[in-house]
C-alpha cells in the first residue's frame, strides 16, 4: 500500500482541537469491543449513536498521527528486504555512502540505509523507563540510534529489540552511542523497566538503551516530526505503524535512516532469521560508529 506525504501544515488545526482527555476517550471508544460480553449473552449487540460519533472521531484523529510515508507498514510485506523500503521521510535524503562502513554498499541496500546530510533533528522531550525526563537536546556529543515500536511489544519489537541488543555489543565506543526507542502505542502510554518492550527482547539491563513515552499529545508530536504513521486496528489492542530507524549524529543532525523489517506469522508474531538479524545489527553498529569523530 502506498500513499503520499502531506505537507507540514496538514492536520495542524485538527491536532490542536483535541485535549489529552479527549484523545484518551477516543482511544477508549476504539476499544469498546472489549466490553461486548453482556450484549453477546443477550443474543444481540446494541450500537449506541454516541459510539458511531466516537468512531468517526477516531478515524479523523488517527489520520493526523504521523507524516505518511510512501509505503505503509513494511513489516507486513512479504517482499524481500531490499524492496521493502520506506521511500520517503520528513527529511531530504542523499545517495551518498560512507566508505568507512566495512560492509557497504551491499549492507546499505540490505538495510534500506540512506544518508540524509545535515537535517536538524527535531527535539524529543519524553519520559524514560526510569521515570526520568529525557531530552534529545541534552545528548549532544553522542550518536543516537532512534527506533520506534509498541510498549507492549506486539509488533516488530522482538526483532528490532534483538538487533539493538546485538548492535550495542558490536559498537566500538559504547559510551558515546545511545539506543533510544519511542513508544508507538497510543493505548499503552506508561512505560517502566519491566515493560515488555524491554523485557521480551532482553534489553532491560543493556547499557545505553532507553525506552521513551509520554502523553498522547507529546508522542504525537514526535511521531509527526519523524514520519511515523500510527493506525489503531479494528481488533482491540491492534496498533500498526510504519518502521523506520534514524541515526542522529553528535551535532544533533539526522545523518541517516534505515528501514527495519521482519516476517509476520499468521498468529501476529514477528521474527527474522538469525543471519539477517545479525547483519542488520552489524549495519546499525557500523553506521553509528561511522558518525563518531
What are the extents of the domains in the chain? Answer: 12-62, 74-290
Q: Higher confidence at residue 236 or residue 113?
A: 113
Query: Is 43's pLDDT higher than 50?
Result: no
The pLDDT assigned to 208 comes to 96
**For the chain, what percent of residues have pLDDT higher than 90?**
55
**What is the grid cell recorded at 95?**
545517495
The whole-chain average pLDDT of the chain stands at 75
What is the β-pairing status of strands 143-149 and 177-183? parallel
- 3-state secondary structure at position 251: coil
Query: Is 39's pLDDT higher than 90?
Result: no
Helix ranges (DSSP H) in the chain: 12-16, 20-30, 37-41, 49-62, 106-111, 157-170, 196-199, 216-225, 274-290
CATH of 74-290, one of 2.120.10.70, 2.60.40.420, 3.40.30.10, 3.30.1490.20: 3.40.30.10
Which residue is associated with the grid cell 531490499?
Answer: 82
Phi, psi (5° rounding) for residue 32?
Answer: -60, -20
Mean pLDDT of 24-32: 50
Mean pLDDT of 189-209: 97
Q: Which one of 48-62, 70-84, 101-115, 271-285 scores highest in mean pLDDT?
A: 271-285
The model carries a pTM of 0.69
Phi, psi (5° rounding) for residue 144?
Answer: -115, 120
The pLDDT assigned to 103 comes to 57
d(CA 269, CA 221): 28
The pLDDT assigned to 144 comes to 98
The pLDDT assigned to 2 comes to 36
Q: Higher confidence at residue 260 or residue 101?
A: 260
Indicate the range of 132-141, 197-206, 237-246 predicted with least confidence.
237-246
pLDDT band at 89 (very low <50, low <70, confident <90, very high): low
pLDDT band at 22 (very low <50, low <70, confident <90, very high): low
pLDDT band at 232 (very low <50, low <70, confident <90, very high): confident
Mean pLDDT of 18-38: 48
DSSP state of 101: S
pLDDT band at 108 (very low <50, low <70, confident <90, very high): confident
The pLDDT assigned to 119 comes to 85
The pLDDT assigned to 278 comes to 96
pLDDT band at 242 (very low <50, low <70, confident <90, very high): confident
Mean pLDDT of 102-128: 86
Amino acid at each position: 500500500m502506498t500513499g503520499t506525504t502531506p505537507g507540514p501544515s496538514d492536520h495542524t488545526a485538527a491536532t490542536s482541537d483535541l485535549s489529552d482527555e479527549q484523545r484518551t476517550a477516543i482511544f477508549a471508544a476504539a476499544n469498546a469491543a472489549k466490553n461486548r460480553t453482556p450484549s453477546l449473552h443477550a443474543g444481540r449487540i446494541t450500537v449506541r449513536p454516541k459510539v458511531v460519533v466516537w468512531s468517526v472521531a477516531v478515524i479523523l484523529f488517527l489520520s493526523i498521527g504521523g507524516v505518511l510515508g510512501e509505503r505503509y507498514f513494511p513489516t507486513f510485506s512479504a517482499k524481500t528486504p531490499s524492496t521493502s523500503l520506506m521511500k520517503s521521510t520528513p527529511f531530504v535524503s542523499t545517495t551518498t555512502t560512507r566508505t568507512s562502513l566495512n560492509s557497504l554498499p551491499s549492507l546499505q541496500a540490505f538495510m534500506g540505509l540512506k544518508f540524509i546530510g545535515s537535517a536538524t533533528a527535531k527535539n524529543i522531550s519524553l519520559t524514560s523507563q526510569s521515570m526520568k525526563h529525557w531530552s534529545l537536546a541534552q545528548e549532544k556529543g553522542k550518536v543516537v540510534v532512534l527506533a520506534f515500536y509498541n510498549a507492549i511489544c506486539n509488533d516488530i519489537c522482538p526483532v528490532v529489540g534483538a538487533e539493538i541488543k546485538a548492535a550495542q555489543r558490536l559498537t566500538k565506543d559504547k559510551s558515546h552511542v545511545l539506543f533510544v526507542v519511542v513508544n508507538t502505542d497510543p493505548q499503552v502510554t506508561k512505560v517502566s523497566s519491566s515493560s515488555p518492550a524491554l523485557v521480551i527482547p532482553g534489553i532491560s539491563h543493556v547499557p545505553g538503551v532507553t525506552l521513551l513515552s509520554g502523553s498522547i499529545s507529546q508522542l504525537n508530536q514526535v511521531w509527526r516530526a519523524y514520519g511515523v504513521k500510527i493506525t489503531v486496528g479494528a481488533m482491540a489492542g491492534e496498533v500498526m505503524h510504519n518502521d523506520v530507524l534514524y541515526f542522529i549524529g553528535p551535532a544533533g543532525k539526522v545523518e541517516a535512516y534505515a528501514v527495519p523489517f521482519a516476517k509476520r506469522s499468521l498468529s501476529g508474531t514477528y521474527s527474522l532469521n538469525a543471519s539477517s538479524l545479525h547483519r542488520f545489527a552489524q549495519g546499525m553498529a557500523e553506521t553509528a560508529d561511522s558518525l563518531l569523530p
